[in-house]
Each structure stands twice: as structure tokens, then as C-alpha cells.
A and B are shown apart, each in its own frame.
Chain A
Amino acid sequence: MTRRCRAMVVISVLSLAVPAAAQVPPLAPAERYGTPIGSAGFPPPGASSCSGCHPASVSVDTSAGRLIGRNSSDIVTAVQAFRSGQRPATVMDRIAKGFTDDEIKAIADWYGAQK
């Protein structure tokens, strides 16, 4: 049995033999969970809400504006124009007012880096 197969059996025991709580190993302390996740994959504050309309996955079929892979500075320019009222908007004029320049930049960079 390969290591991977053995691992799968362990999984099966963990998730399936559920009433036998005694078989489940004690809870691991946080340190055991492994290497801390870096910030790279985490959307900056606000970005995960933006993806309520502007998808974070390329595969999503929608007519909402696509931001994935767009030039970050173009996104920043557009949001700032929504915020100042220079560019007509429906909801983005209101939403843009909820973010600082730094926050907008971070969100734009994150979308720009998504593939």
C-alpha cells in the first residue's frame, strides 16, 4: 500500500466512522497546522465583496464587468472617477466612496494579478 493510499484510509476513518468519537485524534494546536499562509493568496480588505459582482474566477459566465487580469491602474482610475462623480455609475459611485485610495489600489492590484 502506498503512502497515499494509506492516507486515504485514514481519511475514510476520520470522516466516516463518525459515531466512534474516540477514534478521532485529539484536536491539534494551531502550531501543528503547518506553515502559515502568506498574504499573497488573500484578497485585500473589500476585494472578496467586490467579487459578489465582478467574478474572481475566469470560468464564471456573467455580464458584470470583468476585472480579472485587467491593468491595475485602469481599475484605480475608473473607481476614482466613479467616486468623484466624473464617470456615471449605478452603484459604483456609492461603493467607491467606501474605500480609500490605498484600499482601491490594493484591490485593483489583486484583481490585476488574478488569472
Chain B
Amino acid sequence: MFDPNTKILIVDDMLTMRKIVKKIFRDLGFTNITEAHDGKDAWEKVQTGNFGLIMSDWNMPVCSGLDFLKMVRSDKNLAKTPFILVTAEAEQHQVAEAIKSGVDNYVVKPFSQEALKLKLEATHKKITIRNSAQ
């Protein structure tokens, strides 16, 4: 599982959703949490943030979660940052597109604390395996 001190960036254009996700992370023991209100805001924050996990909504104005993911993956300093996309629409072609773009996992809204915990564990395991193979 991710270390509770992991620096987490939550990206969502909806203030309410950021509060809900932040609360779930806090209930799971994470304390180092930063918020961004869209992909553009998030892109500025990751330049200096040294984040250990990004959890971004997909459907946002200005810069979508998928566009932000592509920007992160194409930056050599950020490319390996664990990235989870949050979506309300888990259609097959969307999931395929996200995986093709390098997402580590995705969560379908609405989700419970337990569901997010399982996603975080699976993501951490996947990243550990990936890093040990490199």
C-alpha cells in the first residue's frame, strides 16, 4: 500500500467532489493532500510538487483528465508518477484509451472508501512490479 505520507494530488473541477475524495483519503490515513481544479491547474502544481500519486477526474473543462495524463506521461521527470483516473462513464473505449495513454488504474464514481482502498492497493502492487522489472 502507498505510504500514508505519500504526497497526493486530487484534481477535480467540482469542489464537492474534491472534498469527498479528500475525506476518503484522510479516512484511509493519508495526510499530505493537495487539490487542483482542472488539468491546467494540476499541470502547474506538478511542476514543483513532487507528488507520489495523482488522482484526477476525467471530465473537466479547460484541460481534461486524459489530456493531463498525456502531459504527465510525456514529461520525462513526471512520467512514472502513479496516476489514477476517476470517471462517471466507464465505457470500454474510454478505458482502452486511458490504458493506452498510460493510466495506472481508474475508479468509477461514485465509489466507497473500501473501493478506493482496493484500487490503491492494486495500483501500488502494479507499480511495484513494474518498477522492480525495470
Partners in one complex: no
Q: Which residues of B contact A (CB under 8 A)?
A: none
